[in-house]
Amino acid sequence: MHRTYQCYDPKTGRIFSTVTVSEDIAEHMQAQGEALIEGDGNDLEHFIDVSISPPKIRERPKQTTRQDKTHIKADGEDMMTLSGLPIPCNISINGTAFDVKDGLLEMTTLLPGDYVIRAEAFPFVDWEGKVTAL
């Protein structure tokens, strides 16, 4: 009989693959050092809570990130603020990454255009927003 297992990083709980294998194969994988847990899940919506014993599949929590504006003036002074960010987190703006350690990001720009902003802080679900500078 085949069962579904989540393969995960035993330090972080991040799921990196799902396999459907027999119990014998799963036991062999575990004997080889693979961290497996039986059950359904996916890396976008779930993680393995490794802080408890035995570990459990859980839903990734949603961020409480708030964006105060979607449009700003490209004058270097008008500001868009992200607050409620996970502490710490990684922010990328059009692919350029920044570490944020205090839960707050303030953005100004002199260049007009659209800016895609992404906040990542595992195990939280990634947050994405956009600001347009005119």
Instruction: Note whether 48 and 13 are within 8 A (CB).
Output: yes
pTM of this structure: 0.82
Same domain, 26 and 72: no
Last residue of a domain, one of 40, 59, 78: 59
CA R_g for the chain:
20
What are the DSSP E strand ranges found in 1-134?
Answer: 2-8, 15-22, 36-38, 46-49, 56-59, 66-67, 71-72, 80-83, 89-93, 96-100, 104-107, 113-120, 127-133
Looking up residue 72, the CATH number of its domain turns out to be 2.60.40.10
The whole domain housing 33 covers 2-59
Q: State pLDDT tens for residues 37-49.
A: 999 988 999 999 9
What are the contacts of 48-53 at 24+ separation with CB within 8 A?
Answer: 48/6, 48/8, 48/13, 48/14, 48/15, 49/13, 50/8, 50/10, 50/11, 50/12, 50/13
pLDDT digits (tens, 9 = 90+) for 5-43: 999 999 999 999 999 999 888 989 999 989 999 999 889
